[in-house]
């Protein structure tokens, strides 16, 4: 299997920062849709501006469009009765990926979550990134935020739209098949399983617009069937071929041995490596388990910045943005074992100088204005109690991965 998909020319790829840019672009596309909308997200929340996305999807259903929505059973365990009735009346179809049973996450197989954030409009426009349908100034656990969380998405046209469409279609029909099996409707289940493997001749933009498209791009997927390590291998290849600079922003950073070695080797050959990581406490495991990796990175000459302005939710990277072979990725995949070994993830890869420079500028500004640089002395001053928590979380994470039967 290829380490990453063939990057194709002929794309327009627009970088979107935060829900303040993402939601209006998404809503405009939904309101302009003429045929069908397929939507996947981990969290679908209805607070504040996020509700405007739901209203737009409802309007699309009322216009007679086919609207399919898939959410994760952990990120979005329930749809409110009000919205269930509204979507049903509008003809909007809603499915929950892997709903939790009585034992919840105590069963390791249920750690395989739908974490990707994808949307396809009429088979011609796609969105991909790390942004949930969740207001940047609101957190379900912590309430109102003083500053927006840092996150990114892309809006794209071109050949990768077909890849996104096929990924969404296959998942939808697999969920349909599971539903029919549970209902013991086996003929319909067979039809759905068959439909999950079908490739359709989706529409494309006309060649008359090709003059406007400058970016080479492709879609990376991580699942538990055909794309088990595609995203990790793409990162490894980009890091290995970097010649000048690597900037990675990751909310939950706990890379495996290969990724750690790749970053150390890049720094050793003179590449400037900078990491923008989570600086605010969100989850015990993810926050503390990352800290034991810091010393190895700092000893190798890697610069580490912790984002402190708000929650960091980005999962992006940019390599050699101002040089001859720029590479960038925006998506849902963290560099941690949950994303790289268990969850369904999706990233867009872009080989384009203008796009890479825009992302590089946004990350550089965040590091300069809204972050704290972590120095070796910072680690030395960390209390024994906090260090014990760090190693406890690190050990628990490794043990949890072992329970799933994976090596990392």
Q: State the Cα–Cα distance between residues 293 and 229, nearest whole angstrom.
A: 21
Give alpha helix (H) positions in 197-247.
230-241
Last residue of a domain, one of 211, 237, 265: 211
**One domain for residues 182 and 253:** no
- 65, part of any domain: yes
Q: Which residue, among 356, 147, 150, has the nearest Cα to 244 in the 3D structure?
A: 356
Q: Which residues contact 224 (CB under 8 A, 6 or more apart)?
A: 112, 342, 344
C-alpha of 303 from chain center: 24
Last residue of a domain, one of 211, 232, 262: 211
**One domain for residues 199 and 240:** no
Instruction: Return per-residue pLDDT of the chain as tens, 408 residues.
Output: 444 556 888 899 999 999 999 999 999 999 999 999 999 999 999 999 999 999 999 999 999 999 999 999 999 999 999 999 999 999 999 999 999 887 888 888 889 999 999 999 999 999 999 999 999 999 999 999 999 999 999 999 999 999 999 999 999 999 987 654 455 554 554 454 444 444 443 333 433 343 444 689 999 999 988 899 999 999 999 999 999 999 999 999 999 999 999 999 999 999 999 999 999 999 999 999 999 999 999 999 999 999 999 999 999 999 999 999 999 999 999 999 999 999 999 999 999 999 999 999 999 999 999 999 999 999 999 999 999 999 999 999 999 989 888 888
Note down the domain range covering 283: 216-403
**One domain for residues 248 and 373:** yes
Please tell me the total count of domains within the chain. 2
- 71, part of any domain: yes
**One domain for residues 47 and 180:** yes
In order of 46, 114, 272, 361, 405, the CA distances from 260 in angstroms are 38, 26, 15, 25, 21
Enumerate the β-bridge partners of residue 318.
247, 328
**One domain for residues 165 and 17:** yes
Last residue of a domain, one of 189, 211, 233: 211
- 314, part of any domain: yes
Rg (CA), the chain: 21
Domain with 148 in it: what CATH number?
A: 3.30.870.10
Q: Which residue, among 280, 297, 308, has the nearest Cα to 379 in the 3D structure?
A: 297
pLDDT tens-digit series, residues 364-384: 999 999 999 999 999 999 999
**One domain for residues 268 and 303:** yes
- 7, part of any domain: no
Q: For residues 69 and 93, is the Cβ–Cβ distance under 8 A?
A: yes
pTM exceeding 0.85:
yes
């Amino acid at each position: 299997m290829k380490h990453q998909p063939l990057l194709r020319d002929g794309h327009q790829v627009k970088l979107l920062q935060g829900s303040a840019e993402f939601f209006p672009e998404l809503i405009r596309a939904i309101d302009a849709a003429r045929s069908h909308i397929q939507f996947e997200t981990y969290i679908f929340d209805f607070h504040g501006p996020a509700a405007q996305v739901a209203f737009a999807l409802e309007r699309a259903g009322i216009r007679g469009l086919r609207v399919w929505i898939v959410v994760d059973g952990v990120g979005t365990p329930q749809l409110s009765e009000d919205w269930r009735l509204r979507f049903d009346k509008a003809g909007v179809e809603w499915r929950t990926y892997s709903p939790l049973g009585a034992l919840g996450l105590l069963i390791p197989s249920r750690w395989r979550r739908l974490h990707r954030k994808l949307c396809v409009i009429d088979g011609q426009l796609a969105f991909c990134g790390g942004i949930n349908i969740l207001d940047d100034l609101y957190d379900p656990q912590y309430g109102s935020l003083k500053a927006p969380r840092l996150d990114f998405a892309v809006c794209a046209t071109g050949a990768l739209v077909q890849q996104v469409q096929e990924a969404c279609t296959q998942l939808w029909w697999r969920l349909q098949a599971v539903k029919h099996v549970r209902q013991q409707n086996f003929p319909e289940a067979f039809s759905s399983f068959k439909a999950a493997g079908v490739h359709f001749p989706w529409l494309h933009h006309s060649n008359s617009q090709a003059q406007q498209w400058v970016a080479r791009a492709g879609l990376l997927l991580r699942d538990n069937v055909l794309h088990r390590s595609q995203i990790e291998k793409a990162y490894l290849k980009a890091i290995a071929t970097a010649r000048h600079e690597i900037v990675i922003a990751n909310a939950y950073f706990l890379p495996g041995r290969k990724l750690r070695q790749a970053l150390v080797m890049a720094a050793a050959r003179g590449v400037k490596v900078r990491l923008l990581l989570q600086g605010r406490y969100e989850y015990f495991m993810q926050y503390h388990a990352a800290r034991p990796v810091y010393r190895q990175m700092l000893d190798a000459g890697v610069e580490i910045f912790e984002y402190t302005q708000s929650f960091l939710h980005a999962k992006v990277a940019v390599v050699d943005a101002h040089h001859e072979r720029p590479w960038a990725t925006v998506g849902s995949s963290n560099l941690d074992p949950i994303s790289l070994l268990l969850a369904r993830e999706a990233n867009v890869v872009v080989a384009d100088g203008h796009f890479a420079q825009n992302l590089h500028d946004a990350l550089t500004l965040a590091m300069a204005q809204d972050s704290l640089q972590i120095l070796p002395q910072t680690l030395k001053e960390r209390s024994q109690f906090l260090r014990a928590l760090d190693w406890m979380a690190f050990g628990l994470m490794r043990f949890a991965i072992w329970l799933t039967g994976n090596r990392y």
